[in-house]
Amino acid sequence: MTRLRLSLLFSTLALFGLAQGTAVFIASQAPVFVTTDPFLFWETESAQTVFFQFLILFFTATAALLILLHLYKGRALYRFLFLFVVFLGLMKLFLLVFPPELSLLVSALFLCALFLLPAVWVHNMVVIAAAVGIGPIFGLQFHFLFAALLLLALSVYDIIAVYITKHMILLAHELIRRQASFALFVPDTVKKYFAQIRDVQPGSGFLIVGGGDIVLPMIFSASLVRASLPAAIASVAGMLVGITLNHLLIVSRHHPIPALPLITIGALGGAFAALGIY
């Protein structure tokens, strides 16, 4: 049991489940939930455009960061970019419940918390809130079949980026070192939740769940809400199975693995099983 590191697994499932479950809830409350046709490939041309625009945005941002890492060795610019992305996500989330002025204020308070309380638990909560603001916004623009295709395509990319080019590992390590990583840091002990962000490094007793592994599954589950809320919930349950399998691989191999493929398999399996039932 010790070898499986169950406490680390349960912490990972709790944080990931909190993020994904909240994203499904937010998507279910969005106005688009009651105005769209659930099962037809409605607005197919528009959906295709969103699909390719997202892929272009994703790969352009990744390439730009890799180039920047070769040109700029400091920390301030990466920290600014991280805070900017977090701020946008927080604003998207809080605009769902607050007027713009109050959303701006609350988002600013969350950013201040990152500076005044730079602990792991604060970082994780802020990243979850920002991710929940980003994922459903994209997901509600997709038909769920396009979202499934997106997950599959980026899962293949994740395998290439980790095992072949290895640039995803480089990118993750460099952003963590600069305290600019949009990721969840899951500690192997409760005490480390109160550790400073600057103490989080690869191999320092933290499991890293990357931002893509958080936000991309949210896009799929949010897109499912229009078709079937039970299917969206089932997709999250499948993701948790994928996270568990990822954990077993990590503790047995002791090196980074592409997390998205197993999360995707779980999400698709849970979703389409539920769609078949309902």
Return all residues near 200 (Cβ < 8 A) that are at least 6 apart.
120, 176, 185, 206
The answer to whether residues 121 and 194 touch, using CB atoms and an 8 Å cutoff, is yes
Q: Which domain holds residue 17?
A: 6-29+45-277
Number of domains in the chain: 1
Please provide the average confidence, as pLDDT, over all residues in the chain. Answer: 88
pLDDT of residue 31: 66
Q: Range with the lowest mean pLDDT among 146-150, 221-225, 251-255, 269-273? A: 251-255
pLDDT tens for 67-83 read 999 999 899 999 999 99
- Inside any domain, residue 36: no
The whole-number average pLDDT for the span 8-20 is 94
- Inside any domain, residue 178: yes
The answer to whether residues 206 and 186 touch, using CB atoms and an 8 Å cutoff, is yes
pLDDT tens for 97-106 read 889 999 999 9
Return all residues near 93 (Cβ < 8 A) that are at least 6 apart.
26, 129, 130, 132, 133
- Inside any domain, residue 245: yes
- pLDDT of 33 strictly over 70: no
**Residue 39 banded pLDDT, cuts 50, 70, 90:** very low
- Inside any domain, residue 39: no
- Inside any domain, residue 224: yes
- Inside any domain, residue 123: yes
- Inside any domain, residue 34: no
The phi, psi pair for 186, rounded to 5°, reads -100, 110
- pLDDT of 247 strictly over 60: yes
Rounded Cα gap, residues 261 and 71, in angstroms? 31
- pLDDT of 34 strictly over 60: no
pLDDT of residue 128: 96
- Cα torsion at 171, 177, 179, 184 (round to 10°)? 60
